[in-house]
Amino acid sequence: MPTLTVIVEQLLAPIPGGTGRYAREITTALAAHPRPGWRVRTVTAWHRAVQSAVIPGVAGPYRLPAGHRLLSELWLRALPPTVGGDRVQATTPLAPHRGQGLMVTVHDAVPWTHPETLTQRGVAWHRTMVGRAVNHAEAIVVPSIAVADDLAGLFPSASNRIHVIGHGVTVMKPPADAERRRRRWGLPERYVLSVATLEPRKGLDVLVAAMALPAARQAHLVVVGSPGWGGIDIGAVAARAGLPAERLHLLGRVDDDDLAAVLAGAAVLAAPSRSEGFGLPVLEAMAAGVPVVSSDAPALVELAGGVSLVVPREDAEALAGALGEVLGDDSLAADLAGRGQQRAQAYSWSSAAARWWDLHEGQRAAHG
């Protein structure tokens, strides 16, 4: 029985983020809709507790004989440990040095397009690992045409091995006590919502500046997300911008039920990112019937497909104006919400998994 091994180390990261969501959902879908005769297993680095990486219906996770930091350094140098299986699917650029049977997901080209939004070490590590994958992996899978274009420009010789497979959408069904949960956080009836890791690339400083402007209609801002690299203190940013503390609600990291409850009360989702590879929060908001205002980052424009309001990156006034339009025009908000829900129906984890299986089986047949 052929085995597909999926590397799901991101599920055990301190901040799994969107790539953690991706790792869990695509692996779940691969196992739920397997090709006949295939077995799916997962591996991680060595951790004492791996419960967060357990996926129903999937064998594993099997722990490799190296902790996360050591594994990252070993694979950076193209050293063991190896990963068994007829096919190996890396859900991030963290991948072993293996040619035949390896496919790697590259979520964005930020280390090249916006290196200032990462640590120097992070830029160097990602450039090396992505470069190696481009040179040796059978396929590089990216979530959007925008990322495919970036990578093809950086690595022209690999353009025929770059495949676009969009993410699926995790429908956020509000729990029965959604209203009580929002009251517990002291949230108003309607608010602007941001779902993003707190780091420079997400443009939260621009969003806070926009919310302090009169065009934002004195709306409250709710921010969901864990602190990332860059040391962004949203409270301090708000104080400097003149956004009153009572209009800012920082919820930190929340589980899916809480996120569904927060989405259900949002008047609009703001996604002012400087760069994105896909934009899962935008897709999840559209599926939940929440209007979206986003930056003109190419991947966000591609994802929304004309069903969001788009503003230039770094332009707080334009962002405030667009948010004010949605907040002040119920018919516009309803139109954006309805078209967004329709657009979101084009994305599913099962269809993404089917395309992955096509790639795996095609490459396996090609190599005998």
Domain CATH for 189? 3.40.50.2000
Residue 368 has pLDDT above 80, yes or no: no
Same domain, 191 and 143: no
Cβ atoms of 41 and 5 closer than 8 Å: yes
Share of the chain above pLDDT 70, in %: 99
pLDDT at 323: 98
229 pLDDT band, cuts 50/70/90, is confident
Same domain, 18 and 153: yes
Give the mean pLDDT of 232-261.
94
Whole-angstrom distance, CA of residue 117 vs CA of residue 176: 39
Q: Is the preceding peptide bond at 81 cis, omega within 30 degrees of 0? A: yes
Same domain, 11 and 140: yes
Cβ atoms of 240 and 251 closer than 8 Å: no
89 pLDDT band, cuts 50/70/90, is very high
The answer to whether residue 47 is domain-embedded is: yes
Whole-angstrom distance, CA of residue 248 vs CA of residue 169: 28
Sheet of strand 292-295: strand arrangement: 248-252, 221-224, 192-195, 268-271, 292-295, 309-311
DSSP 237: H
Same domain, 233 and 307: yes
Same domain, 324 and 355: no
Residue 337 has pLDDT above 90, yes or no: yes
Q: What are the residues whose beta carbons fall under 8 Å from the beta carbon of 347, sequence distance 6 or more? A: 166, 167, 168, 169, 283
Give the mean pLDDT of 352-359.
97
pLDDT at 333: 98
Whole-angstrom distance, CA of residue 112 vs CA of residue 127: 8
pLDDT at 182: 97
Q: What are the residues whose beta carbons fall under 8 Å from the beta carbon of 45, sequence distance 6 or more? A: 9, 12, 63, 64, 66, 67, 68, 70, 71
The answer to whether residue 327 is domain-embedded is: yes
How many Cβ atoms are within 10 Å of 65's Cβ, its own excluded? 10
Same domain, 109 and 233: no
Cβ atoms of 245 and 239 closer than 8 Å: yes
Work out how many domains the chain is built from and give that number.
2
**Where does residue 113 rank: exposed (0-12), middle (13-18), buried (19+ CB within 10 A)?**
middle
The answer to whether residue 122 is domain-embedded is: yes
Residue 86 structure tokens:
């007829």
The answer to whether residue 133 is domain-embedded is: yes
Same domain, 245 and 149: no
CA neighbours closer than 13 Å in the CB half-sphere of residue 73: 4
Residue 6 structure tokens:
């999926």
The answer to whether residue 229 is domain-embedded is: yes
The answer to whether residue 173 is domain-embedded is: no
Same domain, 126 and 207: no
Q: Sort residue 324 into left (φ over 0), alpha (ψ -120 to 50) or beta.
A: alpha
Residue 330 has pLDDT above 90, yes or no: yes
Residue 292 has pLDDT above 70, yes or no: yes
Q: Which domain holds residue 155?
A: 3-168+348-366
**Per-position b or e across 66-84, b if 16+ CB within 10 A of its CB:** bebeebbebbeeeeebebe
Q: What is the mean pLDDT of the chain?
A: 95
Cβ atoms of 132 and 121 closer than 8 Å: no
Nearest to 91 by CA among 141, 41, 166: 141
Taking the CA atoms of residue 118, residue 122, residue 123 and residue 126 in that order, the dihedral angle to the nearest 10 degrees is -130
230 pLDDT band, cuts 50/70/90, is low
Same domain, 85 and 114: yes
Q: What is the pTM of this model?
A: 0.94
As a whole number of Å, the CA-based R_g of the chain is 21
The answer to whether residue 147 is domain-embedded is: yes
Bridge partners of 103? 89, 139
Of residues 364 and 100, the one with the higher pLDDT is 100
Same domain, 225 and 116: no
Same domain, 288 and 360: no
Q: What are the residues whose beta carbons fall under 8 Å from the beta carbon of 358, sequence distance 6 or more? A: none
Same domain, 215 and 337: yes
Q: What are the residues whose beta carbons fall under 8 Å from the beta carbon of 80, sequence distance 6 or more? A: 74, 96
226 pLDDT band, cuts 50/70/90, is confident
Dihedral (CA of 307, 310, 316, 318) sign: negative
The answer to whether residue 267 is domain-embedded is: yes
